[in-house]
Every structure is written in C-alpha cells, then in structure tokens.
Amino acid sequence: MEKYYMAAMGGAEGFGNKSIAHLVEFFGSAKAAWFAKADELIQSGVRKNFIGAFITFRQGHPDAPEKLVGYCERQKIKLCCINDEDYPPILKEINSPPMFFYYRGTLQPQAFRIGIVGSRHNTAYGQNVALELGEQLAAAGITVVSGAARGIDSFAHRGALKSGRTVAVLGCGINYIFPRENRKLFEEIAERGVVLSEFPPNLTPNAGTFPTRNRIIAGLSKGVVVVEADFRSGALITSNYANEYDRDVFAVPGQVYAKMSRGCNELIRDGAILIKGAQDILNEYDILATDEAVDKPTKTIDKPEPKITLEGTAARVLEMIPFDRYITDEELIEKLDDINPSELPGIMLELDLKGCVEEDAGRYKRKVGG
C-alpha cells in the first residue's frame, strides 16, 4: 500500500519527485507523510507553496490512495515505486529519479538497455536505420528504449519487436494514447516489453512533459543513439541527459547538407561515438551478436540503396509520405505547394503501382522498404 500513498501524493499540483522524496525521508514513509499534521508538514523543509498544494489536495481527496488501488486494478495498470525490488537500479542513479511510475507489461530491472531516439520529422534514411538498429540490438539480447513518438521512436520500437523486447517511455499518462495511430503499437509493446509513465494515468501531453520523459529514457539506458535530429530536436535533450548521467552517446552520421542530420553531425563533432550500425554498439560493450543478428549483418548506412528508383516530382512526393500514419492529398499539396494539384492523382497512382504506398479511402501511407 505504501506505493499508492506515494503516487497519491503526486496528485498535488507542482508536487514532484524531490518534494515527495523529502517528505518520505522526513516522516519515514509515504503513509506517514500522507497523514501528517499541517504544522508538521510545514516544518519538513519543503517549500510552503508546495506543502500548501499538497494539503489542499489531501483535504479534497482524503481517500485518494485507496481509490488509486481500485483504479489500477480496473484499468490493469501496475505501479512501481523506488523502493520496489523490480525498480530498475540504473534509474536510481540519475538526478531526481521518478519516485514511482505506472506501467503495463513485464519489468526486467537488470536488463541491458540502449535508447534509440530521433526526430518526429525524419527521412526514409532515418526510418530504415531506426528499424535496423532496433531489430538487430534486440536480436542480440538488448532491450531497446524509446519515447513512442511518431517517427524515429516508433520505428525503433517496431524494429525491436521483430526480434526481442522494447520499453516505451510516454510523455503523457499511460491511459492517453499519443499519437493516436500508435494504439496497436502500444499494445504490442505491453505484451512483449513495457509501456511506462510517471505521469497521472489520464494526463494529456504538453510541452513540459516530453523533456521530463526524456530524462527517464536516458536514465534507463546504458547508452543513447541519436538517429536523426535537427538542431532543436527533442532527441538532443535526451542526449544531454545521457551526458549528464554519464551514459554513452552514439550518433548516426548523415550528409552535411541534410537538415535532419545536422544535430547528429554536431554531436559527433562534440565527441559522440559515430556508428554505422548495430555492430558498432555491440563492439563497444563486447556483446556477441546472436546467430540471428549475425545472419542479418548491419548494412553500411551512409550509402543506403533504395529498392525502387523514382525521379523528379514522384520522388519528392514519396519523401513527404510518412510510414507511421496516413496522409491526405490536401496535406501533401500543402507540404509541396509548388506542384500542380492536378498532377497528384497520377503521381499517387504511379507510387501505388510500384508498391511504394498503401491506400485507404483516399489517404496514403508509405510502405516500409518502399
């Protein structure tokens, strides 16, 4: 029950990990802190405005811990607190580790994990790299950690699910599916890995939740790979946390003129380990690849070979079509405002015939390998 008192304390506005940790230490347990008198709480040393928020929340929700137990049981959500045996030890090493988190799936606290992160606005090059890295690292027994966002994150998870385990760290509550199209992916990860979040289960994402999430990705991982990132990508926030926590930082190189490789190239310039594939990471930790991984050797990714040759406008249109969601004609025209809208139906027919896209009620999604 102790963990539910701890999680209930997190319901107070602005009451974060440091405040909870301080009260637990001061009173000896979360339960004791929950039932402490107002004057005792004020004497604890936690900032008065935070204590005020906690007291107000507790008065309005006196049975919050008990209700939380029932809610988690109904929603099939598990709760892990920092004192539990299955709390990952490596996560305790970071500044302000989460005092608790909600999760679905099976925790493996001693697992060897590598984070793979990158931009939501990625290229086909980055998507293919993320898929290969995820699959080959997982085949070697490494758990792949990422943030379940569109783009590189989703492809890293999908690759890992082909051959092993993956962990998705959410920037929202565990009951809020974001992005919406990843519902099935989340279910698959929960079945064969872990989906977790330190936020209240129904919290919607906002600008502040993602950097908070990124610190956990870095904290869970022995090293973090940045696949594609522009200068302001959130993936660079994760790499900064990795440096702060003394984790290894790897980066995938790209063309010097490619926008989505500018952040990676800068990381390499500043000391990140350049990798050309999963084997470079395995070599770094003296990990032997499994037979499956050996049978699928890492390709040299600085010269990817496209399976289908397209030229001109068709190639530009295909580059704008994502792998992880459907896109409408209107969205494509908006992205490529210099093409004649009357040309688009013919181009989409060409892409469909060549097996590059999937079509659904006038919307299109790019096929992996297409």
With b for 16 or more beta-carbon neighbours within 10 A and e for fewer, the 18-30 pattern comes to ebbbbbbebbeeb
- List helix spans (H) across the chain: 2-9, 17-27, 30-34, 38-42, 48-60, 64-75, 124-139, 152-161, 183-192, 209-220, 234-244, 262-269, 278-284, 291-295, 312-320, 329-335, 344-353
Q: Which residues, listed in sequence order, are joined to residue 352 by a DSSP beta bridge?
A: none
With respect to CATH, is domain 105-295 assigned 3.40.50.450?
yes
% residues pLDDT > 90 (the chain): 71
Q: What ranges do the domains of the chain cover?
A: 2-74, 105-295, 312-366
Tokens of 190: 């929960």
Architecture of domain 312-366: Orthogonal Bundle (1.10)
pTM of the model: 0.78
**Ranges under pLDDT 70 in the chain:** 290-309, 324, 361, 368-370
Closest CA relative to residue 336, chosen from 231, 181, 119, 328: 328
Instruction: Enumerate the H helices of 226-307 as residue ranges.
Output: 234-244, 262-269, 278-284, 291-295
pLDDT in tens, 198-244: 999 999 999 889 999 999 999 999 999 999 999 888 999 999 999 99
- Give the pLDDT score at 293: 47
